[in-house]
Amino acid sequence: MMRILVISNLYPPHHLGGYEMACREVVKGLSARGHEVRVLTSTYGLEKPAIDGEVYRWLTTDLEREPKPLARRALELLGKEARNQQAFKRVVKEFRPELVYFWNLANISVSLALSAQRMRLPVCYYNFDLWLTNWRSDNWLALWPPAPRRRAVRLASRAARSTLETVGILSSGVLDLRHVQFATHYLKRSTLEAGEPVAGAEVIQWGIEVEKFPYKAHGGEPARLLFVGQVVPHKGVHTALEALRILVQEHGRSGVTLTIAGGSSLPDYVSELRRFVQTHRLEGNVEFCGHVAHEHLPEVYRAHDILLFPSIIDEGLGLGILEAMASGLVVLGTASGGSAEILEHERTGLVFPKEDAVTCAAHVLRLIGDRGLFEYLRRNGRRMVDERFRVERAVDEIEHSLQAQLAEVARESLTPAHAPGNLP
């Protein structure tokens, strides 16, 4: 049995995207296998720190984007670091983990990983996005450049650094990245290109609970389109709406509909999308559902035929693609980043370039006119998820990886003087 402390900036039910839900699945899976797991996460979504079973919601997030005077900003970050270090040390003291498993430190404190290293705790990382490529830009660490140009600033910085390191609020050094797991080959490649020493890292592709997304029988014209995700510009929702406009107004497909299922932190963008719908008189074709709880998504998928994945950034993975394929939807999307490892043109879905609504609409028309292709892609998508992207397999690989790391730590701690072959 392992004692594992998991640290993530967000954790369900207070979350924004897919990686947090994946983190929860790993915690559940490892706990079900008999391991003792605790989670340290932020107070995001709460008014004050709280303990929720084995989940300690104690960390302070840094989501501040308003420009402020440097001194005021530094004091705010100092307070955050002090609280987060105190929370981390308290959990470590009470739980005594054998290993600290970091999922995402963005907007909390990268210094927690440095503190774990200083305490000689084994650390491992699971990467679902690109935060590890720019960990040095952590707002707190960025306040402490290694060599300020001005001598007075350099001397003052050195004195302050020494004091903060003594009390444990500032940790120097670099992350120990000997044990890193990536959800996709794309994420590993990108982290290598950013100069991080992760050549020996594992790729443990994530998966879903397939049984929660039953493959549906299909009948009728594939005209019910679906978008699932955060309603923000980089997810490309505007491309989906423009593709719908083309289908309805330029091709006379008035029966085609689009459901937009997802919350947003950008109300102005949502208002812009609604204005587009009104301007083009698409109110009867578009439904904005807002945030949909994950447990209700299977029924949402079953009520649709085609998932649009029009992201304009290189996604780390794209859990919605896997869930839709498992449910029997055909996925049309921009196969970039990690999603390219799932979405293969004319084999597991259809691909269109970023912000290319014309090609997206053409793909929908093609599926409407070619039921054989539609069924072929549905079957292939489900088969691929069954074979490669089951959460049970991912948790098995993670468990074996963490066990191997702890076994390696045990071997390293067995000095030659105490090795069995050298006993008197």
Sort strands 99-104 and 123-127 into parallel, antiparallel or unpaired.
parallel
* pTM reported for the whole predicted model: 0.85
Same domain, 262 and 365: yes
- The reply to whether 62 and 183 lie within a common domain is yes
Nearest to 198 by CA among 207, 206, 211, 189: 189
Q: Count structural domains, the chain.
A: 2
Distance of CA 46 to the CA centre of its chain: 21
Q: What are the phi and psi torsion angles at 246 (to 5°)?
A: -60, -45
The helix (run of H) or strand (run of E) holding residue 392 is helix 391-413
Q: Same domain, yes or no, for 272 and 412?
A: no
d(CA 346, CA 29): 34
Q: Does some domain include residue 424?
A: no
CA 116/CA 171 separation, integer angstroms: 10
How many CA atoms, within 13 angstroms, populate the side-chain half-sphere of residue 64? 16
Q: Does residue 321 sit in the same domain as residue 197? A: no
3-class secondary structure, 350: strand
Q: What is the CA radius of gyration of the chain?
A: 24
pLDDT in tens, the chain (424 residues): 999 999 999 999 987 777 888 999 999 999 999 999 999 999 998 999 999 999 999 999 987 667 777 777 778 888 999 999 999 999 999 999 999 999 999 989 999 999 999 999 999 999 998 999 989 888 878 776 655 555 544 444 454 555 455 545 566 678 999 999 999 999 999 999 999 999 999 999 999 999 999 998 876 788 999 999 999 999 999 999 999 999 999 999 999 999 999 999 899 999 999 999 999 999 999 999 999 998 999 999 999 999 999 999 998 888 899 999 999 999 999 988 999 999 999 999 999 999 999 999 999 999 999 999 999 999 999 999 999 999 999 999 999 999 999 999 999 887 654 444 443 3
Q: Report if residue 422 sits inside a domain.
A: no
CA–CA gap between residue 299 and residue 331 (Å, rounded): 17
- Quick one: 220 and 308 in the same domain? yes
Neighbours of 337 (CB within 10 A): 21
423 located within any domain: no
Say if residue 199 is in the same domain as residue 255.
no
Reference 349, options 357, 341, 256, 358; nearest CA is: 341
199 and 222 in one domain? no
d(CA 88, CA 40): 8
**Residue 299 belongs to a domain:** yes
The whole domain housing 11 covers 3-207+392-417
Q: Indicate whether 249 and 291 sit together in one domain.
A: yes
**Domain match, 155 and 22 both:** yes
Nearest CA to 126 out of 74, 199, 177 is that of 177
